[in-house]
Every structure is written in structure tokens, then in C-alpha cells.
Amino acid sequence: MKILHVIPQLWKGNGAAKVLLNLISNQIKTCSSIDVICLVDVKPSLDKEIKSLGCGLKYLGSCRYNPYLIFKLMKEISKYDIVHVHLFPAFYWVSIAHFLARSSAKLVLTEHSTKNNRQKLYFLKYIELFIYRRYDKIVAISNAVKEQLMKQRILEKKIEVIYNGINIQNIESANPIDRNELNIPTDAFLITQVARFYSQKDQATLIRSLKYLPDHFFVLFIGDGVLLQKHIELAKSIGVLDRIRFLGIRNDVFSILKVSNIVVMSSNFEGFGLTALEGMAAEKPVIASNVPGLSEVVEDAGLLFPLHDEKELASLIIKLYEDSDYYQIIAKSCKDRSLSFDEKIMGSRYLTVYKKLVYND
């Protein structure tokens, strides 16, 4: 079976790119060939990791929104049995290219989020419906994503829920970082958040929660983005900047998770919550905002707090800090739940989808 994955870019901070890497690492063992097409090249990227798996990798242009990419894709997609697409605008261009080329390749789309800016534009409503209906199977990464797709009048029989998977062994085998490298006091209680600085992620709530926490509580932010400076200014304005470390994009995220005490994900919305799951796999208590998708991953294991409620977030952090038995119970629950999201399970379920489409199994 020949598979082509199409994604806008492979930026290291992108959750969909990380999921794609995990997926390919399992598919490569059972598929005759796997290639990846990126609309554009964005650094730092996961291109070396993708190539190391034995995949072909091609970049199509310098602007992901250029409709001319449709014609480039028309030349590619008919070479494959399955064309698996991730994210906008790639799933627009592939859908149109498939239509124009009259390709026989089966189209699979993974929908990674519960919200997007296109939903606010009424004139796109019928265009979106045409685009989505070109796909033979649409994979929702959570039940929350499935519900959103059905609100957009996507037929339920076309939707399959497959949870994202992670490489648990890589997390377990990571060596803890030396805390001295993080420039923090030896007695610091570490709260870590891994997310790009973007409006969706709401790092501001975690920053504000520091006002209600003791002075030896420190926050580590791993990630970069357009709102980084705005959050630095917020931390400075409320007097907590000295207790925050902005670490940027890192290659040793799992090593940092190993020395963290708590992992927080305070997003405004999520299709899933990959970094929350990674924190759970590192056997750390995870506290997350109670929003669809993210709550689906964390509930019954970690802790949930009302969106934007920094006082309740601080209260949950204090409870974990003061009650060591409770801390261990939540940490173990998180670890146990993470085992249900192994990348091997994800890979197997996607392969089943492919086989049904290609061989009518």
C-alpha cells in the first residue's frame, strides 16, 4: 500500500506534525512506501526525523495559501493508494486537486481541532461542505471534534474517532535534565506548560495564578510564538517575571517534564491535548482547563479547572503540593491513563481505516 501524507508544514512546535511523526514511525513497518508532502518549509522542523524513518519528503512552495499548489498536487496524488491530509489549507488544495485530476486515490483527512477561524465566515459554509465531502474518511482526534464535524453537516458514517498516540517509551527513557541548567533555586516547585504562544493556549491564566502561589513556585514555559513578548510584559506587570523561565523551543521536552512537579495546560480550546498526554506519560499530575477535547484526555485521571479561573488553578496546585499522598494518586492515575494512548494503537487503527478503503476489508 502506497501512502502519501500532506501537511502544511513540519514545524517542531506543531502538535499535528508530532502526531504525523508518531503515525509514520508505525506505518513504515507495514506499508510498501510512505511519502510526505509539505506545502512550505518552516524552521525548526521535523524534516530530519521524518527522513530518518525512510520516507520521501517534498516541499511544494513558499506560500501555503497559493492556489497554484493545487496543480502541483494534481501531479502527485494519483501515484498513491491513500492520500492522508492534515490541517488547513492542505485539505482544501488536496480535495480540489483530487477532483480536477479525477484521481482514484482514497482520501483521508484528520481533523485536529474543535474550532477554527473559518467557522466565523458564513460564505465558506458551502465551500467547506464540498471540500469535506470529497474525503472518503474523516478522522476526528476526539469525540469533541466529531461533534463539531457533525454540526457542520458531515455525515456520521464518514467520521471515525481515533485518539492521538504518543511514544511512551521515549518519554519513559528520557534522562532528567540538570535543574541547574534551568537557572532555578534548588527548592523550586516546578510547574511546566508546553505550548506555542498563541491566543488558543492562554498562558496568561497560568501566569496570573502565580500571584496566589508561594514564592518558591516557578513556571517553565516551553514554546515560542507571536504572543511571547505580550506574556513577558504581563508577567512583569504583576510582579512574577522573576519566577518564570521562558525556554523557547526545546529538543529536550521530555527531560524537562521529568524534573517538573506539575504540568498545566490552560487552553481556550483543544481538539485533543497532546502535551497534556505527554505530561501524564511522564507520571506528573496534569491540570487542564475544562474544555471539550482536552477534558476528554485528562478527566478521570488528572484535574480540571474552569476556563480562565486562575484562583481555582492555584488552589489545585496548592492541594497537590500540600498533600503528598494525593499528589501520588493523581500522578499514578495520569500515568495509567496515558498507556491507553500508545502510538501503536493509533497506528493500528489508521491502518484498519486504510485497508477498508483500499481493499474493502
Q: Which residues touch 35 (CB under 8 Å, ≥6 apart)?
A: 3, 4, 5, 55, 56, 57, 58, 80
* Tens digit of each residue's pLDDT (9 = 90 or more) over 275-298: 999 999 999 999 999 999 999 999
Q: Which amino acid belongs to residue 271?
A: G
What's the pLDDT tens digit per position in 90-127? 999 999 999 999 999 999 999 999 987 777 777 788 89
Is 90 exceeded by the pLDDT of residue 338? yes
- Domain 168-340, CATH among 3.40.50.300, 3.40.50.2000, 3.30.413.10, 1.10.10.10: 3.40.50.2000
- Domain map of the chain by residue range? 2-165+342-359, 168-340
Across 10-30, average pLDDT:
92
Spatial distance between the Cα atoms of 181 and 358, rounded to a whole number of angstroms: 51
Q: Do domains 2-165+342-359 and 168-340 have the same CATH topology?
A: yes
Angle formed at CA 160 by CA 157 and CA 166, multiple of 5 degrees:
180
Q: Give whole-number Cα distances, 223 to 13, 32, 217, 227, 251, in Å.
A: 7, 36, 20, 11, 11
Q: Which segments of 77-134 are extended strands (E)?
A: 82-86, 106-111
Residue 272's pLDDT is 97
Proportion of the chain above pLDDT 70, given as a percent: 100
Q: What is the pLDDT of residues 133-162, one digit of tens each?
A: 999 999 999 999 999 999 989 999 999 999
Q: Rounded to an integer, what distance in angstroms lies between the CA atom of residue 45 and that of residue 100?
A: 31
* pLDDT higher than threshold 90 for residue 43: no
Residues linked to residue 326 through DSSP beta bridges, in sequence order: none
- For the entire predicted model, the pTM comes to 0.94
Query: Class assignment of domain 2-165+342-359?
Result: alpha beta
| pLDDT band for position 30 (cuts 50, 70, 90) | confident
Say what the pLDDT of residue 361 is.
66
Contact 313, 329 (CB under 8 A): no
